[in-house]
Amino acid sequence: MLVWVRKLMSNWVARILFALLIVVFIGWGISNVLTLTGSNTTVARVGGTPIDASAVQAAYQAALNQAGQQGQPDLATRQQLANQALADALRKQMMKQEERRLGLVVPDAAVRQVLDEEPAFQANGVFDKQKFEQVLTQNNSSPDQFIGQVRESLAMRQLMLPLLRGVAPPEELIDRLFAYFGQHRTAETVAIASAAQPAPKPPADAVLERYWRNHPAKFTSPEYRRAQIVILSPTLLAPQEQVSQADIDAAVARAKAEGPPSVPQRSVQVITVGNLAGSSRLQAAWTKGANWSRMQTLAKQYGATAVEMDKAAQTQIPSPALGQAVFAAPIGKVVGPVAGDTGMYVFKVTQAGQSGPDMAALRQQATQALQIQKAQDDVANDVNQLQDALAGQTPLNQLPANLGLVAVQGTLDAAGNRPEGSPAPIPGGNALKTAIVKAVFAAHPGEPPQLLNGPDGSYFALSLDKIEPPALQGFAQVRDKVLADWTQSQQVREAEIKATALYRAVRQGQALAAAAKAAGLQVNITPPLLRDAGQQGAGVQELSNVLFSMKQGHGTMVRTSTGFTVAQLMTITTPDPAQYQNVYQQWQQQMTKGLQNDLAESFLTGLQMRDKVSVNQKMLAQIYQ
């Protein structure tokens, strides 16, 4: 979009409004739909006012062209783009009706002010009509379209901003929440790891057998299913697709043209010295072969500054004189002294290059995008033939070989693993594997294969050959596993005994540090913990949840992923808003945004309830299919 749109969206109130409008209207496209009949081109109605399909078609086509740069969109993506275009059309119509009801008018002077203040339309600081028309042409727009968009935007702001500006949370509420969420606590802790406990001697088999019988779930194999699967996927077909070199070159050229211009860059080592004598000595030492590490040390002796810049454009070098000299210097030669704004410069250019994408990577990306596009076309051509073959009850192993199918057969559990524990070799990405495994465990033996939709434009069909129900594995078969599990359980029990003894001592009034010292255990002090322990690293969540429910000086014992932790709460600190003004203001702004968000959503919900929205799904489907 043009600059003025970016300027408008930099206003956070406008961003909230746009986000809400899109979410609300997409939701309406699902929950408030009536199928209309007739031969007209009305795709929807808002309060009886029709919306012509051409308006939605134009917005949809623009979005489709943009999405097409990353490959041919599948049906689900096209449907989503059409729904978004429809949501935008519904939004505009709803806002227009409310503006007319309230009598809101956008003066021509206000539109003119927007045009006059837009830098993209200025020449020598004033509005230039010729530049205005040129910029719009480059953005596939016209003056009438652009002015209409400006007028719509100004009208929307007139409608919404007065509603949102007066919203602010009470200071007392901010103070309470700031104190609640900003409070931090520290504790002394003792961690007792289960794995660190001495392993007991292996018991008699009778003990292990009793453990095996008492814990059948640990030694029961899951349900396994044996299935045949065929997959038709653009992602799997793409590596085999042949694309011409001319198409690849054209795609690379388009990508380069759409990207930022290439700019010369230099990597350089620079020493800035305050006087000519010092710079001359440093230049001489560097020329004689001193390496950069040695030059950094010498620079400190002369009170100089040594810095290294990597892949810097000339405009990124602070001194214009230094920048000009760097980009005129040969690679690998010590240059200087050069007079600059802050002293004398001695430097060496270590590398020269250009900004911009890696051409090899860009060519690879272009090739893959073309292969995916071609594979999507092939899938679209083959899927009907595959559907016909399955409808004719053709066995999966007798399907035509020219359909680009990938076949796989084997046994797996609901987690997608084979009986030996390794992942089943189902081709494709994780989303496709998950969909196939889910379908396998929803199938029934003897059912004829049916074509199912997979992610990313893929299709698959399967036949279920056999179901192996869960079964308790024999003791002899899993004895080693039983022994390992029994040993681990004994180590956990030993760790729990030690932790319980510490916790009991704290409950009886003894300091944790003293009790731990007597037991030969190490005490640690936590960093200040916040209520939002999820951002404070792994292992903190369990302890933090308990600490914020305790009184100062009290103790606790928690089970962790590695064992047990005993803790004693030592300090409770409540933040002072005066000391954390920036954080306090951020809280205030976030709460204001949240309240304004809620109010804007309520306003839009009220419009939805007042104006009946109906969508001609058949007409909408004609747009994206």
> Per residue in 165-213, pLDDT tens?
888 888 888 888 888 888 889 999 999 999 999 999 999 999 999 999 9
Confidence tier at 133 by pLDDT (50, 70, 90): confident
CATH number of 264-356: 3.10.50.40
Task: Specify the long-range contacts of residues 498-502, CB closer than 8 Å, at least 24 apart.
Answer: 498/192, 498/564, 499/190, 499/192, 499/557, 499/563, 499/564, 499/565, 499/566, 500/557, 502/190, 502/192, 502/557, 502/566
The domain 3-166+602-624 is placed in CATH, from the list 2.30.30, 1.10.3470, 1.10.1740, 1.10.4030, at 1.10.4030
Q: Where are the beta strands (DSSP E) in 369-509?
A: 406-412, 452-453, 459-468, 471-472
Residue 262 is given by DSSP the state P
Q: 3-166+602-624 with 264-356: one CATH topology?
A: no
Give mean pLDDT, residues 525-534: 77
Is 0.85 surpassed by the pTM of this model? Answer: no
Average pLDDT over residues 590-605: 85
Confidence of residue 90 (pLDDT cuts 50, 70, 90): confident
| Residue written as token pair 């989303």 | 431
Closest-CA residue to 613 (of 58, 32, 24): 32
Q: For residues 307 and 267, what is the distance between their CA atoms, to the nearest angstrom?
A: 11
DSSP string, 169-195: --HHHHHHHHHHHH-EEEEEEEEEEST
Q: What is the pLDDT of residue 603?
A: 81
What pLDDT score was predicted for residue 1?
Answer: 33
Specify the CATH number for 223-238+378-469; select among 2.60.40, 3.10.50, 3.10.290, 3.40.50. Answer: 3.10.50
What is the separation of C-alpha 531 from the centre of its chain, rounded to a whole number of angstroms?
24
Strand extents, DSSP E, 517-623? 524-525, 555-559, 563-573, 613-615
Share of the chain above pLDDT 70, in %: 91
* Cα distance between residue 211 and residue 489, in whole Å: 10
Q: Are 214 and 489 in contact (CB under 8 A)?
A: no
For the chain, helix, strand, coil in percent to 5 are 55, 20, 30
Q: In the beta sheet, which residues pair with residue 556?
A: 567
Q: Model confidence at 16, in pLDDT bands (50, 70, 90)?
A: very low
Residues 191, 496: Cα–Cα separation, whole Å: 11
Measure the CA–CA gap between 336 and 330, rounded to whole angstroms.
12
CB count, 10 Å around CB of 369?
Answer: 19
Pair 481, 216: CB distance under 8 Å = no
Confidence of residue 10 (pLDDT cuts 50, 70, 90): very low
Mean pLDDT score, 358-369: 81
Q: Which two tokens stand for residue 203?
A: 């018991």
**Letter for the amino acid at 140?**
N
CB 273 within 8 A of CB 304: yes
pLDDT tens column, 455-482: 888 999 999 999 999 999 999 999 999 9
Domain residue spans of the chain: 3-166+602-624, 184-219+476-573, 223-238+378-469, 264-356
Instruction: Of 12-16, 29-33, 357-361, 394-398, give the lowest mean pLDDT range.
Output: 29-33
Listed residue (365, 366, 373, 371) closest to 72, CA to CA: 373
Tens digits of residue pLDDT in 231-275: 999 999 998 889 888 888 888 777 777 666 778 899 999 999 888
In Å, the largest CA–CA distance within the chain is 95
Looking at per-residue pLDDT, the higher value among 297 and 33 belongs to 297
Choose the weakest-confidence range: 11-20, 323-332, 557-566, 583-592. Answer: 11-20
Residue 9 confidence (pLDDT) above 70: no
Query: What is the pLDDT averaged over residues 498-502?
Result: 95
Which of 213-217, 270-274, 325-329, 612-616 is least confident?
612-616
Q: Please tell me the distance from the alpha carbon of residue 265 to that of residue 313, in angstroms, as a whole number.
A: 5
> What kind and span of H or E run contains 151?
helix 143-165
Q: How far is the C-alpha of 475 from the C-alpha of 482, rounded, in Å?
A: 8
